[in-house]
Amino acid sequence: MSSIEHALVPGTFDPITFGHIDVVRRASRLFPRVTVAVAESLGKNGVGTVFTLDERVEMASRALSDIDNVSVLPFTGLLVDFAREQHAGAVVKGLRAMTDFEYELQQAELNYRLDAELESIYVMSSPQYGYLSSSVVRQIASFGGDVSDFVPACVVGALRDRFR
């Protein structure tokens, strides 16, 4: 059995949170090379994203710049196609709750049907981030709340500018 040299950590990252960063750091300890795959996600939850794809890539790149074996790339289309293009053998996702598990199980089963060679690997959310989601951060920021405990400084500023 060969080892996996390259893993993807996919998501919309609208915006990237400390919970996302925790998952990426943990993936970076498991794999020699990790790519954070920022999805275009034009129709997530029936609405578009707050930040453009380029803005989300920039924020993620800044937030993860201290991790040597991590790069950040945008992608459109199917994750399995992007994984093939990048020669990635695994997808790493974080799980916070049972609702995450149900959604991620469905995604893993679909990805397996599309590419049985692509492994799906899950890490449990660190306890301090189990409640954290991009949508909660956006909601708090939209009402002028302080989100500095949830996201890096570069994201705090971007949210402040977006919701002025």
**Active-site residue list:** 20, 44, 96, 134
Q: Please report the pLDDT score of residue 44 as a whole number.
A: 54
Q: How far is CA 59 from each of CA 53, 109, 117, 127, 159, rounded to the nearest angstrom? A: 10, 30, 31, 24, 11
Q: What is the pLDDT along the chain (164 residues), one digit of tens a residue?
A: 679 999 999 999 999 999 999 999 999 999 999 999 999 986 655 678 999 999 999 999 999 999 999 999 999 999 999 999 999 999 999 999 877 888 899 999 999 999 999 999 999 989 999 999 999 999 999 999 999 999 999 999 999 999 98
Do the domain assignments include residue 1? no
Do the domain assignments include residue 33? yes
Q: Please report the pLDDT score of residue 2 as a whole number.
A: 77
Domain that holds residue 15: 6-162
- Number of independent structural domains in the chain: 1
Q: What type of residue sits at position 14?
A: D
Bridge partners (DSSP) listed for residue 36 = 9, 72
Q: Are 49 and 39 in contact (CB under 8 A)?
A: no
Q: Please report the pLDDT score of residue 45 as a whole number.
A: 56
Angle at 24 (CA atoms; ends 22, 29), nearest 5 degrees? 100
Q: Where are the beta strands (DSSP E) in 31-129?
A: 33-39, 70-75, 90-95, 119-124
CATH of the domain at 48: 3.40.50.620
Q: What type of residue sits at position 62?
A: R
Burial class (CB in 10 A: 0-12, 13-18, 19+), 32: exposed
